[in-house]
Amino acid sequence: MITPAQTLTLLAAVILAAGVAALVWLSLAFVARVAPRASCLMAGANAAAALSLTLHALRGVLPDTLTYRAGDVLALASFALLAVAVSAILDRHPTWKPATAAVLAAAGVLALMPYDGDLRWQARIVNFGGAALTLAAALSTWRRLRAADGRRTPAGLSLPLFLIAALMTVRGLETFLNPGRTPDMRLPTEFNLAFLWAALVLTLLQNATLAFLVLMRLILRIERLLERDPLTDTLNRRAFDQALDHAHAWLRRGRGYALVMIDMDRFKQLNDTLGHAAGDAALRQMVRELQPCLREVDRFGRLGGEEFCVLLPDTDIAGAALVAERMRALVHATPLRWLEQDWPLSASFGIAEAQRDDADGAALLARADQALYRAKHQGRNVVQA
């Protein structure tokens, strides 16, 4: 036989788990400085959940307006904060509007409803509203993880959110099957006992999973910083050399590739005339102009100064020439706008195709560099193979 002490103990355990999780997320935000915005949102979600459940447990002790109305709004707010926190983990700019609008709409409806007697509809609004908010976050998480880097951060990490949405849906449906007892989690029923056990497990699982996701995204960002040029966001020399070695290994299996070496013309003159800030702006502009010419499989790196290189897998010398000519035209067509004046930009291009007798990628890089040298001596703003 289930006793009231069992349900109250489990309810207290869920409150404690959410409260501890809130403190851990706050420590991550302000002490460890790990994803501060997302960590603060997760702390808020757990704190709102803990406070909502605490008010639920104190019904009959504190004023009803506080324990019923405020408790239900806090419950919805916890799900909304969870949804926003997930978007903050996946994106730099979290999505506030949908979750905020949903909570405000539900709070407005709850404010108009009397909290006496039958509380089925209030329970349905809270449970189905929480399920909808969590399901939206789960679907967003699943889609983004699947589309981005599923091997490093698998889409299965969204599973706890789906389970929470399912749990809240089941509790909402229970209001139709057992309308008189479900709204009160303190009642010693088998359903409440199972619900609270599931809530305890999912609270721990959800926080652990999202903390792991935060750390994984942090690791991926660090890795990106280690392999990217800070000025242009292209691959740095070390990362490009690794990509070149990888491409050359595939050459031995029959998959060819080509290189396009790029050097901005008269870059020193630009720096001396307009200053280094203008030179940096010119390099960034050139990179932006070249991006539309690249496929997802291509690798674009900065070798140093104003010299760049593009690795084109599955491309022969003719294909590389077409790409390089398009790049040359784009750079030449867009002057640098600096201090209310236009500075013409152009670049020279050297291309080369990998051969089976190349000892390594460095041999092909040297041939592309020789072609670039010839392009410079032919008057610049040309493509030379």
> Would you state the pLDDT for residue 2?
80
> Would you state the pLDDT for residue 172?
92
Q: Are 57 and 12 in contact (CB under 8 A)?
A: yes
Helices and strands in the chain: count of H runs, count of E runs: 13, 7
Type of residue at 181: R
Mean pLDDT confidence for 318-337: 92
**Residue 106 in this model has a pLDDT that exceeds 60:** yes
**Residue 361 in this model has a pLDDT that exceeds 90:** no
Mean pLDDT confidence for 10-25: 96
**Pick from 287, 260, 235: which is nearest to 372 by CA?**
260
Type of residue at 88: A
The predicted-structure confidence for 178-191, as pLDDT tens digits, reads as follows 765 557 888 888 88
> Would you state the pLDDT for residue 163?
95
Q: Please, which pLDDT band fits residue 292 given cuts at 50, 70 and 90? A: very high
**Pick from 142, 147, 4, 129: which is nearest to 78 by CA?**
129
**Residue 356 in this model has a pLDDT that exceeds 90:** no
> Would you state the pLDDT for residue 352?
92
The predicted-structure confidence for 138-178, as pLDDT tens digits, reads as follows 998 888 888 765 455 677 888 999 999 999 999 999 888 87
Q: Please, which pLDDT band fits residue 137 given cuts at 50, 70 and 90? A: very high
Q: Are 297 and 248 in contact (CB under 8 A)?
A: no
> Would you state the pLDDT for residue 213?
85
Give the span between the Cα atoms of 87 and 68, in whole angstroms. 29
Q: Which residues contact 218 (CB under 8 A, 6 or more apart)?
A: 34, 35
> Would you state the pLDDT for residue 358?
79
Mean pLDDT confidence for 265-289: 91
> Would you state the pLDDT for residue 164?
96
> Would you state the pLDDT for residue 89?
87
Mean pLDDT confidence for 102-128: 90
The partner residues of 312 in beta bridges, in order of sequence, read 258
Mean pLDDT confidence for 314-321: 92
Output the CA–CA distances (angstroms, integers) from residue 299 to 7, 237, 283, 373, in the order listed: 58, 12, 17, 22
Percent of the chain with pLDDT over 70: 97
**Residue 15 in this model has a pLDDT that exceeds 70:** yes
> Would you state the pLDDT for residue 40?
95
The predicted-structure confidence for 330-347, as pLDDT tens digits, reads as follows 999 989 988 888 899 999
Q: How far is CA 53 from the centre of its chain?
A: 31
Mean pLDDT confidence for 100-122: 89
Average pLDDT value for the chain = 89
**Residue 301 in this model has a pLDDT that exceeds 70:** yes
Which domains does the chain possess? 4-226 (1.20.1070), 237-384 (3.30.70.270)
Q: Please, which pLDDT band fits residue 108 given cuts at 50, 70 and 90? A: very high
Mean pLDDT confidence for 357-385: 88
